[in-house]
């Protein structure tokens, strides 16, 4: 049975999106991506740590040739962004001339995405598109263009399904929202 509430430290979260809603939306996203990249090999770039679960589920639903790279960045401390994006682990493959699909867990201020796109553009790919499971438009500070957005959500901290609070909660199959 789905837990309706969870606690991390002193913070209480309530269920926001359950596993079946998430998986149904991922199926729709995969169908949309697949339709648009029928004749193109995709270079997937997944942003660790948060996007690991979303990437695994999305890729299993994509029936097109693709390869996978992980990039690791960090900008958060607790529930607040530090505004500074650190690339901790870089790319493996040469992405020159490739069609990149950048997979993010959540686009909040958009600072991480902006920084990543700049870094990826330096690789001279043929194209870059962004797929994010969650988008918080109220918080955007940088111009963001998310081509494939799973859910547009309000400005409240969320955990689960890859997303964490100080390292906790990534393993939850559902997404929970901080209770105010």
Using the rule CB under 6 A, give the single segment among 15-23, 91-99, 119-127, 154-162 that binds ligand IMP.
Answer: 154-162
Place of tokens 């797929």: 131
By beta-carbon proximity to ligand IMP, the closer residue of 36 and 115 is 115
Among 8, 55, 100, 110, indicate the residue that binds ligand IMP (CB under 6 A): 110
Q: Which of 21, 34, 36, 109 binds ligand IMP (CB under 6 A)?
A: 109
In the complex, minimum distance from the CB of residue 117 to ligand IMP, in angstroms, rounded to a whole number:
12
User: Going residue by residue from 15 to 44, which x/- string records binding to ligand IMP, judged by CB under 6 A?
Assistant: ------------------------------
Q: What is the DSSP letter of 165?
A: B
Q: Which residue is catalytic, options 18, 63, 93, 108?
A: 108
Distances (CA, A) of 2 to 17, 19, 178: 11, 9, 17
162 sits near ligand IMP (criterion: CB under 6 A): no
Residue 164 annotated in active site: no
What is the SS3 assignment for 15-82?
EEECHHHHHHHHHHHHHHHHHHCCCCCEEEEEEECCCHHHHHHHHHHCCCCEEEEEEEEEEEECCEEE
Number of residues binding to ligand IMP, judged by CB under 6 A: 19
How far apart are the C-alpha atoms of 180 and 169, rounded to whole Å?
18
133 sits near ligand IMP (criterion: CB under 6 A): no
Q: CA-CA distance, 135 to 150, in Å (whole number)?
A: 8
Active-site annotation, residues: 108
């Amino acid at each position: 049975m789905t837990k309706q509430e969870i606690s991390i430290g002193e913070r209480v979260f309530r269920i926001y999106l359950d596993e079946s809603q998430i998986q149904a939306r991922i199926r729709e996203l995969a169908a949309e991506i697949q339709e648009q990249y029928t004749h193109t090999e995709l270079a997937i770039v997944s942003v660790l740590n948060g996007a690991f679960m979303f990437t695994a589920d999305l890729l299993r639903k994509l029936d097109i040739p693709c390869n996978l790279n992980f990039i690791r960045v960090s900008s958060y401390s607790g529930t607040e962004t530090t505004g500074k994006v650190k690339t901790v682990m870089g790319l493996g493959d040469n992405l020159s001339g490739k069609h990149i699909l950048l997979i993010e867990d959540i686009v909040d201020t958009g600072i991480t995405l902006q920084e990543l796109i700049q870094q990826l553009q330096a690789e001279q790919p043929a194209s870059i598109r962004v797929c994010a499971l969650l988008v918080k438009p109220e918080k955007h500070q940088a111009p963001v263009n998310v081509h494939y957005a799973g859910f547009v959500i309000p400005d409240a901290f969320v955990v689960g399904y890859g997303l964490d609070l100080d390292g906790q909660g990534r393993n939850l199959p559902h997404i929970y929202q901080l209770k105010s």
